[in-house]
Structure 1
Amino acid sequence: MFLRILDRFEEILISVLMALAVILIFVAVVHRFSIGFAADLVGWARAHEMPGLQDTARSVFKAINSIKLTWAQEACIYLFVWMAKFGAAYGVRIGIHVGVDILAEKLEGRAKTIITTIAMSGGILFTAIIAWIGTDFVWHVYHGGQTSPDLELKMWIIYLAVPLGSALMCFRFIQALYLYLTTGYIAHHDLGAVDGIEDEAETAAEGKA
């Protein structure tokens, strides 16, 4: 039950963060080009002696310019940081991380089990260290009272993505190792599920034939 809730929360969080970042970037780009278009329209109307259009364009320019989105870039960076940290943990769960498994694939039996266990244990150790260091860093930032320049958010909240994401990633490595030791299964990404990959493979096989 807990794992199902955690899995669902992870997926929803990543989706929401990605959607917010994309929407915010889109709005910021439209806002920036709208200001430029309105300014150009004012100049064009002035050059062609069209006072009515000029006044309208100037009003539109003032209205758009009054909407301040200077914080958008900073917000997008923070959204992508959180998305990347939790996305990394999601990657461990479904097996989409890049890995050099040429040695493990050539081994069999106990030797393969030992190598795979060492590799996964390395991931557990590394992410646990990052989570510990990240927690210590967030603790010091919290007491320092640092805030972000545009959003004026507490920076410890932003940096909290590092220990939380790393801790979740560490848990996913532990989960993957336990699953492997008990069932022999390793989560991996199916290349056939990627559009075009299967078709290219079939075409190449037919060409060799």
Structure 2
Amino acid sequence: MLRALDHLEEWLIAFLMGTATLIIFVAVLQRYAAGTALLYPLVGHLDFSWAQELCIIMFVWMAKFGAAYGVRTGIHVGVDVVINRLDPQWRAKLIVFGLLAGALFTGIVATMGGHFVMENGAHYAFLHAFGLPTGDLYEGPITPDMEAPTWVVYSAIPLGSALMCFRFLQVCVGFIRTGELPHHDHGHVEGLEEDTTDPQRAAQDINWFEMSDNLHPKDAKDDKGDHQGEKRP
């Protein structure tokens, strides 16, 4: 179940990013092509006035669900200098407190965002879709270019925040069980393996900015020649 949710999250982010990029690319090409006398008869009748608004909406959705993805994979920036200097017992307690605080905050945002979306036209839309009486419920505004219900756009807030709240709780449970947090290596390229057979290449792969104690950069004398069993001069 969790693996399916992870894949759905990744596919949604990739789809939103790729589709928005493609729409912007096509819209820019159409705009410049329509400015030429040769191509205007072919593309001048195409209307891409909706492209900018749609791409903004897609990037908002991508950002909200990307934030939840960041919690799961540990790519959010965090200042942990003070926490790393504490005793392991206090460090663990503060980490759990921070994760629960993040879950509480995003849970509140999701709850209030859901209420806002329902009051902004979602309640009316759901009742109308099932043929139920809507009474005096607010139908809600629409976007200026696409004329789409704004509650659909704003739904990214409760949905993304709820997923982010779940990710905070998921990471918190995992930390309590294993004592480890998700960590993302920004220097690692997926699918690219380090070559440890070439001494020169292996020496180049040493990260001299790595912090051996999470506080101070590693000195040359700290390298024990992990790649070839020799100390680097």
**Alignment CA distance shift 1:106-1:194 (3 Å):** farther
> After superposition, what is the alpha-carbon deviation per residue over 1:60-110, rounded to whole angstroms, capped at 9, x for unaligned?
313312000000000000000010000000000000001111122112221
User: Are 1:5 and 2:4 matched, yes or no?
Assistant: yes
Show the counterpart of 1:45.
none
User: Are 1:126 and 2:105 matched, yes or no?
Assistant: yes
Show the counterpart of 2:27.
28
Show the counterpart of 2:69.
90
Q: CA RMSD in A?
A: 2.2
Show the counterpart of 1:169.
164
Q: TM-score when scaled to structure 1?
A: 0.82
Show the counterpart of 2:79.
100
User: Are 1:154 and 2:163 matched, yes or no?
Assistant: no
Which runs of structure 2 are paired with 1:43-122 in the superposition (5 Å)? 57=38, 60-122=39-101
The residue type paired with residue 3 of structure 2 is R
Query: What residue ranges of structure 1 are gaps of 5+ in the alignment?
Result: 43-56
The residue type paired with residue 176 of structure 2 is L
Which runs of structure 2 are paired with 1:180-199 in the superposition (5 Å)? 180-193=175-188
Query: What residue ranges of structure 2 are gaps of 5+ in the alignment?
Result: 122-137, 191-203, 210-217, 221-232
The residue type paired with residue 13 of structure 2 is I
The aligned length equals 185
Cα distance in 1 between the residues matched to 2:45 and 2:188: 47
> After superposition, what is the alpha-carbon deviation per residue over 1:127-166, rounded to whole angstroms, capped at 9, x for unaligned?
0111011101101111342111111111111110100000
The residue type paired with residue 98 of structure 1 is V
Cα distance in 1 between the residues matched to 2:61 and 2:206: 35
Cα distance in 1 between the residues matched to 2:96 and 2:208: 34
Cα distance in 1 between the residues matched to 2:107 and 2:177: 22
Show the counterpart of 2:17.
18
Cα distance in 1 between the residues matched to 2:40 and 2:181: 57
Cα distance in 1 between the residues matched to 2:56 and 2:76: 22
The residue type paired with residue 189 of structure 1 is H
Residue 201 of structure 1, CA deviation: 3.4
Cα distance in 2 between the residues matched to 1:159 and 1:122: 24
Cα distance in 2 between the residues matched to 1:106 and 1:127: 28
Cα distance in 2 between the residues matched to 1:205 and 1:35: 59
Q: TM-score when scaled to structure 2?
A: 0.74
Cα distance in 1 between the residues matched to 2:45 and 2:184: 48
More helix by share: 1
Relative to structure 2, which stretch is displaced further, 140-149 or 119-128? 140-149
**Alignment CA distance shift 1:28-1:133 (3 Å):** same
Residue 200 of structure 1, CA deviation: 8.3
Cα distance in 2 between the residues matched to 1:179 and 1:26: 41
Cα distance in 2 between the residues matched to 1:200 and 1:149: 54
